[in-house]
Amino acid sequence: FVLIDGVYGFPNDLTTPTNRKPMRQKRGPLKITVSALLQQHAQLSSSVEVYLAKLKLRGSLENQCNEILKGADAKIYKARQVQASLTALKKVHMEKKEEKEELSAQLELIKKEERSAQLELITSHRRELKPRAELVLKMWKEMKRKREALEKLAAMRTTLQKRRLTAETRMYLRQLRMLSILYSVYPVVKRAGAGPHAATAALASSSHTPSSNASGFKSMKSALSSNSNSSTSRSRPVYAIRGITLPDLPKDSMAKEISVALGYCAHLILLAAKYLGVILRYKIVHLGSKSYVVDGVHDPPQQVPLHFKDSATTSRGVIQKGVAMLIIDTRQLLSACSIKHPDETYGAGTFLLHQLYVLQSQIVTQPK
């Protein structure tokens, strides 16, 4: 059976209404056999089974199509929802974008206003600080000029110090050389020997102040006179200048030798003070064996001779005073050379030569 224009029938027997033609056929005797009917029944059964299978397949296909359509409808619904959401998000995005643009424009305007305000503030500060900057620059230039001047002065000071040190060194070496030459002219020699007279402690510890000179000289005289009466068995060295010794007490028999030796000592002390730049407390006037010392403490100044004049008694006391003055001048020389004062006890003449010997030994042993 086939469906033709909504009517099921056999294809050979059924025709479309348009093609159907009235026909008159002659009906003959029905001649149908059982085999033919069975055959036709089998054909019809197979055709019905095929048709039913097709219908079943069509129903399954329709169900599948319905399910597919339902899924498609759901997907379309979801797509529409998503599209709507996208549209809403796009609208929100556009609104946010517009707001962002507005905020950016406001921010640019605020930044521009801030820059203009800062520029005005900087300009005003610059105007205010310009005089100060000019003053600071002027002060800096002045300080730079002073610094350069100070650097020049420092360089000059360093140069002058070097020159001064060089000059001082040269002066020191020259002083040593001149003193060495002086002591080669007036050598003080130490020899072993024994003497009956001991030195007084008053000579070693006599005062240096001018106000106590008179009392000091009196104490020296009394000490020397007391020491002249005492004797000791202890041996002591003997000092000589150019081979001439000085006795502790002046003697008339040795008047010439004493005058010559004191002249040598006076000349030696005078030249050593001149070389060392020392101003002596008691001025020495060198006249060979007729030398004398000027005591400037008294008014008018007194001349103390270092030689015998009229009477021997008067000359002894005067010469002892002159020797004491020479001892004080010699101590000045020792202090100028930073030499410790000898504290050994000798007589006046021996102690004077002992001090000159200590000064000579310290100068001769200085490094060249």
CA dist 135 and 129 (Å) reads 10
pLDDT at residue 221, rounded to an integer = 43
Above pLDDT 90, what percent of the chain? 16
pLDDT at residue 315, rounded to an integer = 67
CB 201 within 8 A of CB 230: no
Report residue 319 CA to chain centroid gap: 67
| Weakest-pLDDT range from 184-188, 214-218, 249-253, 342-346 | 214-218
pLDDT at residue 108, rounded to an integer = 92
pLDDT at 281 over 60: yes
pLDDT at 103 over 90: yes
pLDDT at residue 22, rounded to an integer = 52
Question: In whole angstroms, how far apart are CA 56 and each of 4, 12, 42, 84, 120?
Answer: 20, 26, 21, 41, 93
pLDDT at 105 over 80: yes
Q: How do residues 109-162 score in pLDDT, each as one tens digit?
A: 999 999 999 999 988 888 888 888 889 999 999 999 999 999 999 999 888 888
CA dist 313 and 103 (Å) reads 129
Structure tokens at 114: 């801030």
pLDDT at 227 over 70: no
| Weakest-pLDDT range from 38-42, 280-284, 287-291 | 38-42
pLDDT at residue 19, rounded to an integer = 52
pLDDT tier at 202 (50, 70, 90 boundaries)?
Answer: very low
- The arithmetic mean of pLDDT across residues 197-209, rounded, is 34
Pick the more confident residue, 317 or 6.
317
| Peptide linkage before 300 cis (omega within 30 of 0) | yes
Is the full-model pTM beyond 0.85? no
Residue with tokens 């100044």: 301
pLDDT at 364 over 70: no
